[in-house]
């Protein structure tokens, strides 16, 4: 017998008939919308999702301080193009919103190719594709185009460049819904809504989020579930800053992202690596004979970087299909509706429902019984981040690539010391794990990075007041 009000029953998996009707129309409606970390694209997207299952939509005004960050001005865009001297539009935002670097300032100029070139971004690895790039905190503008189109451009021509955008005080929009269970212990189920026309990363996550919310609302649960749909990074930071007092019952969670592609599942573990969430996910998938690849935690990723930062330490797991950074079309126009499928999103929905079914069988004690190996007598140095709540804002200190989307463009991190992608790893790992308890030796084990390098990086961060030495 199916008891529809009891999550503790694997037989309650539905036939997904209503989801099968909803997914194609949601994909079609949401894919073309130009979303960013703020603006009308996010509002429109959340309004559409809100018709499927209601949640609370809130706004945080521009300029609001959130730990080391500030909510930026709101960005909106109506049009953008590049015309050649014959008046032909060779790049047209209206054909694909990835053509404009997200958060581009307005521009209307005639430029020689040489003047335009530094504002053009391509991905030579997939010469047919348009890359996705952002510049949220560095005021600039840019166009993204295929390498093939770039190669064809007449380098002796003049180009009319227009970006009809606005950057002005407004707000950051996010959505939230708390499913209250019998217990106050909560799990966060979060996704991000800031990517424009990219299907796996992360329209698939947004759709899974609303379907899971709709499903869970019908259930009586033991634990509580806090559903969040927020712009990545700044949204998580702003949310945690605003709701710091309300999240003390959160004992773990998941980020829903990249859940629609064709690959087998990948599971990125929590920063503990052996938390009950990790065991539950792995045991669930194994018991269902679902193949998956296990990916160790790294502070490169999504909003687990904020939720799990030293000041919060909320363990977050991520079950993906084609995981971010790991598929060829990641952050390109080839991450489109052809790359993902309804069946893959339904597989992810089914897996998450069964994982939650198994979480519901846990005792409170299991959730809160965390043993960290704190080595108070370590002979190795111990450092502590001076900004433990979420990441410190690296870009305002010149410590992060100015054009986001591709970390391959990393530059000028500590000038001589940190100048490539590996060193960005070093910086992020040092900041993430230095909580005043873990020694350099333990961080080296967790991050797989050499102790000397971590020590050197920590000392550089001390000079920048981002770290203090405890022992």
Residues that bind Zn ion (CB under 5 A): 201
Question: How many Å apart are CA 334 and CA 338, to the nearest integer?
Answer: 8
* Closest by CA position to 461, among listed 388, 407, 404: 388
- Cβ 405 to Zn ion shortest distance, Å: 7
- Cβ 150 to Zn ion shortest distance, Å: 23
Number of neighbouring beta carbons within 10 Å of residue 429: 22
Q: Is 134 helix (H, G, I), strand (E, B) or coil?
A: strand
Nearer to Zn ion, 133 or 226 (CB): 133
Nearer to Zn ion, 348 or 357 (CB): 348
Nearer to Zn ion, 186 or 201 (CB): 201
- Cβ 235 to Zn ion shortest distance, Å: 13
> What tokens appear for 145 in the block?
């185009």
- Cβ 255 to Zn ion shortest distance, Å: 11
* Closest by CA position to 319, among listed 343, 335, 295, 286: 295
Number of neighbouring beta carbons within 10 Å of residue 79: 12
**311, β-bridge pairs:** none
- Report the interhelical angle of 342-359 vs 17-30 (nearest 10°): 120
- Cβ 331 to Zn ion shortest distance, Å: 6
What phi and psi, each to the nearest 5 degrees, are found at residue 121?
-125, 130
Nearer to Zn ion, 201 or 435 (CB): 201
The answer to whether the peptide bond before residue 406 is cis (omega within 30 degrees of 0) is no
Q: Are strands 171-179 and 224-230 parallel, antiparallel or unpaired?
A: antiparallel
The answer to whether the peptide bond before residue 202 is cis (omega within 30 degrees of 0) is yes
Nearer to Zn ion, 74 or 201 (CB): 201
What percent of the chain is helix, strand and coil (3-state, nearest 5)?
A: 30, 25, 45
- Cβ 111 to Zn ion shortest distance, Å: 29
Nearer to Zn ion, 278 or 391 (CB): 391
- Cβ 69 to Zn ion shortest distance, Å: 19
- Cβ 320 to Zn ion shortest distance, Å: 12
Number of neighbouring beta carbons within 10 Å of residue 224: 18
- Cβ 84 to Zn ion shortest distance, Å: 31
> What tokens appear for 381 in the block?
């140095």
> What tokens appear for 276 in the block?
């009950």
Q: Is 462 helix (H, G, I), strand (E, B) or coil?
A: helix
* Closest by CA position to 91, among listed 195, 164, 161: 161
CA dihedral 377, 379, 385, 391 (to 10 degrees): -100
Max alpha carbon distance in the chain (Å)?
Answer: 74
Nearer to Zn ion, 201 or 303 (CB): 201
Nearer to Zn ion, 340 or 438 (CB): 340
Q: Is 176 helix (H, G, I), strand (E, B) or coil?
A: strand
Nearer to Zn ion, 201 or 322 (CB): 201
CA 204 to chain centre: 13
- Cβ 258 to Zn ion shortest distance, Å: 8
Nearer to Zn ion, 69 or 192 (CB): 192
Nearer to Zn ion, 252 or 405 (CB): 405
**163, β-bridge pairs:** 80, 107
Nearer to Zn ion, 266 or 385 (CB): 266
Question: How many Å apart are CA 199 and CA 19, to the nearest integer?
Answer: 17
**What ranges in 258-381 are assigned the alpha helix state H?**
276-287, 304-307, 342-359, 364-368
- Cβ 76 to Zn ion shortest distance, Å: 21
- Cβ 410 to Zn ion shortest distance, Å: 16
Question: How many Å apart are CA 134 and CA 125, to the nearest integer?
Answer: 19
Distances (CA, A) of 285 to 266, 269, 274, 354: 11, 14, 16, 9
Q: Give residue number: closest CB to Zn ion.
A: 201
């Amino acid at each position: 017998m199916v008891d529809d009000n009891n999550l503790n029953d694997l037989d309650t998996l539905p036939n997904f008939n209503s989801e099968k009707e909803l997914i194609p129309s949601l994909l079609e409606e949401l894919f073309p919308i130009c979303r960013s970390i703020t603006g009308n694209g996010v509002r429109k997207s959340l309004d559409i999702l809100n018709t499927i299952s209601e949640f609370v939509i809130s706004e945080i005004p521009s300029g609001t301080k959130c730990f080391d960050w500030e909510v930026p001005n709101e960005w909106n865009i109506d049009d953008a193009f590049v015309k050649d001297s014959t008046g032909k539009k060779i790049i047209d935002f209206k054909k694909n919103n990835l053509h404009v670097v997200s958060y581009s300032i307005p521009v209307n100029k005639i430029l020689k190719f040489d003047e335009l070139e530094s504002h053009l971004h391509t991905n030579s690895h997939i010469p047919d594709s348009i890359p996705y790039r952002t510049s949220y905190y560095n005021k600039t503008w840019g166009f993204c185009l295929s390498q093939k189109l770039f190669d064809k451009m007449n380098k002796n021509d003049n180009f009319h460049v227009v970006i009809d955008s606005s950057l002005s005080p407004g707000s950051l929009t996010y959505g939230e819904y708390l499913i209250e269970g019998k217990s106050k212990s909560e799990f966060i189920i979060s996704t991000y809504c800031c990517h424009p026309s990219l299907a796996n990363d992360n329209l698939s996550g947004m759709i899974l989020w609303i379907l899971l919310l709709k499903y869970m609302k019908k259930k009586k649960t033991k634990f509580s579930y806090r559903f969040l749909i927020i712009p990545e990074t700044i949204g998580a930071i702003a949310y945690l800053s605003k709701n710091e007092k309300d999240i003390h019952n959160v004992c773990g969670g998941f980020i829903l992202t990249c859940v629609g592609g064709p690959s087998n599942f990948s599971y990125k573990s929590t920063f503990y690596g052996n938390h009950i969430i990790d065991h539950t996910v792995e045991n669930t998938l194994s018991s269902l004979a679902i193949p998956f690849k296990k990916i160790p935690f790294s502070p490169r990723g999504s909003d687990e970087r904020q939720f799990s930062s030293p000041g919060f330490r909320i363990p977050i797991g991520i079950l993906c299909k084609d995981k971010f950074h790991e598929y060829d079309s990641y952050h390109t126009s080839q991450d489109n509706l052809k790359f993902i499928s309804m069946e893959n999103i339904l597989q992810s929905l089914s897996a998450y429902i069964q994982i939650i079914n198994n979480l519901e069988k846990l005792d409170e004690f299991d959730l809160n019984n965390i043993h960290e190996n704190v080595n108070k007598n370590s002979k190795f140095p111990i450092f502590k981040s001076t900004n433990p709540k979420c990441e410190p804002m690296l870009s305002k200190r010149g410590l992060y690539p100015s054009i986001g989307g591709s970390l391959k463009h990393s530059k000028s991190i500590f000038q001589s010391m940190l100048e490539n992608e590996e060193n960005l790893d070093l910086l992020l790992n040092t900041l993430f794990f230095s909580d005043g308890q873990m020694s350099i030796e333990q961080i080296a084990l967790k991050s797989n990075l050499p102790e000397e390098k971590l020590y050197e990086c920590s000392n550089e961060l001390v000079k920048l007041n981002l770290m203090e030495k405890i022992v």
